[in-house]
Homo-oligomer: A and B are copies of this chain.
Amino acid sequence: MSSKPLRADARRNRDRILAAAEEVFARHGASASTEEVAAIAGVAIGTVFRHFPTKQDLLAAIVKELLARLTAEVAELASADPATALFDFVERVVEQAAEKRAVVELLAADGVRVGVADPLRGLADALGVLLSRAQQAGAVRAEIRLDEVLALLTATAQGALHGGWSEDLRRRALAVVFAGMRP
């Protein structure tokens, strides 16, 4: 699955570039220039394109990374209180949305185009577990399905991001959604 083991310095550059990309795209959205990413990563533009042959590839890479991170977070919650784990997770994701501008954009908009279907499924599966457990614990209505939860998750994440919601507004908006999920 993973191609070659990469030389140490190459690996370091790749990571630097990813970090820089996350920062830049978070600030200016996906239309930020690759040149700026290179500058912040402290490498030349050619190096960016060597690691990620296309801007799309770069975007896909940081989205994948975030998805992996989120999936890991979900896994950690597998043993938490079933009645609250799902809500906690959604809360956390939406909270972080503002820091992940490009990611949220891409998650919602270009998921397919950008080729992150698989990692996305990974997150969905993990989230499915939280949902089941919440339902078994009687914290969420039985007829609610995973796709609604995902849909509302991305919708509110986007809303929070683009709408510039205040912390208070975010909390109240999510309270409505959560209330709608409870029995």
Contact = CB atoms under 8 A, between A and B. Distances in A.
A109 interface: yes
Interface string A91-127: 0000000000000010011000000000000000000
A152 interface: yes
A151 interface: yes
Contacts of A145: 172
Contacts of A128: none
A176 interface: yes
Main secondary structure of the interface of A (DSSP, over half): helix
Q: Which of A108, A145, A159 has the most CB of B within 10 A?
A: A159
Interface in A114-152: 144-145, 147-148, 151-152
Interface stretch (A67-75, A80-88, A162-170): A162-170
A172 B175 CA distance: 17
A155 B151 contact: no
